[in-house]
Amino acid sequence: MVRFPLFATLISLTATLAAALPLIRETALVTRAASAQAAPHWVAYQDMGADGENGAPSVDSINGFNNFLLSFWTPNGAVDQAANWVNLDDGTRSSIKSSYQAANIKLMISAFGDQITPTTSNMNPNTTADQLAAFVKQYSFDGVDVDYEDFAAVNKMDGSAETWLIQFTTELRKQLPAGQFVITHAPVGPWFNAVHYKSGAYVTVNKAVGSLIDWYNVQFYNQGTDYETCDTLFTKSASSTSVLQINATGVPLDKIVIGKPALVNSAGEGGFMNTTALASCLTTAKAKGWNAGVMVWQYPQADSTWIQAVRAQAFPV
């Protein structure tokens, strides 16, 4: 994610790439055993401030979500809403955490964002993972979301981005054991196109360490007009990375969380769907065996009213 209001963008992929992968058949869906937190996952980020709130909103404000992510942790320290959380006193943090636990909402930290380039900046993946894990434990988070947006490294297609992510994720999981902590990643959709990305991008990452990642908060936006209809979002996109096409690369269907912006101007490069259209698409997707859930950037534009509208048809609160 980028900080409000714009996200990092990815180079456009031509429609020719769509023909590079075979049509997806429902009988070919990849499935898996349930994760540490069973799907569906309803995920909201918060980077910008909200009136009268400091650190995390009340559970009533986000009723319908079961994961709330404060942004961002960086190797140089917490910023934005993550910094607000750090600046709270221990008693206030403990009280908020207790209310989230009672409401079955996991409170997580989002790492990096578009301002940080871990691979390009030559950050040591093991040291960085250790620092992040220590932060998660110190400030009582339930897990971490890896919002890796080092586009320069991925676009080099020399394997450096994939190697960094694999090493980083391996060390992070060592420090944050499965069953005790959640680890998610938030790649942009086209990074699952191994035809375009010769070094594999997230297809390579998933094959190597996908078992260590609970799910993917896939950013299905900022790719032109791709992902703006249910067909291109779920069945067959121009970049060959719809939900079903990502599933065909080996990513379990219940790990492909659909990420969308709350507002049109939060998706500067396209991909916005209003709540009615998105809710209808979830109904179609559920009928085909998908139940991973939805991610949104960001609260407070997307609050309890937003998520309840999105869930209303297929997954009512």
| pLDDT at position 317 over 80 | yes
Look at the block and give the residue holding tokens 């023909």: 19
Sign of CA dihedral 274, 113, 299, 306: positive
| pLDDT at position 297 over 70 | yes
Do the domain assignments include residue 20? Answer: no
Do the domain assignments include residue 246? Answer: yes
Look at the block and give the residue holding tokens 């791709």: 226
User: What letter would DSSP give residue 23?
Assistant: P
Residue 43 CA: distances (Å) to CA of 153, 171, 186, 244: 27, 24, 11, 20
Do the domain assignments include residue 23? Answer: no
pLDDT at 55: 78
Residue 67 CA: distances (Å) to CA of 15, 110, 119, 159: 34, 11, 28, 32
Q: How many domains does the chain have?
A: 1
Do the domain assignments include residue 31? Answer: no
Could you tell me the two tokens for 145? 């979301």
Do the domain assignments include residue 11? Answer: no
Least confident of 109-118, 157-166, 263-272: 263-272
Q: What is the pTM of this model?
A: 0.90
Q: How confident is the model at residue 19 (pLDDT cuts 50, 70, 90)?
A: very low
Amino acid symbol at 122:
N
Do the domain assignments include residue 21? Answer: no
For the chain, give the percent of residues with pLDDT over 70: 87
Residue 144 is part of a domain; what is its CATH number?
3.20.20.80
Do 182 and 106 touch, CB atoms closer than 8 A?
yes
Q: How confident is the model at residue 49 (pLDDT cuts 50, 70, 90)?
A: confident
Average pLDDT over every residue of 166-174: 98
Nearest to 112 by CA among 78, 143, 84, 88: 78
pLDDT at 27: 31
Domain with 282 in it: 38-312
Do the domain assignments include residue 317? Answer: no
Q: What DSSP string runs through 173-233?
A: HHHS-BTTBEEEE--BGGGG-TTTSTT-HHHHHHHHHGGG--EEEEE--SBTBTTSSHIII
Alpha carbons 256 and 282: distance in angstroms, whole number: 13
Residues 6+ apart with CB under 8 A from 207: 200, 250
Mean pLDDT, rounded, of the chain: 89
Do the domain assignments include residue 2? Answer: no
Amino acid symbol at 187:
P
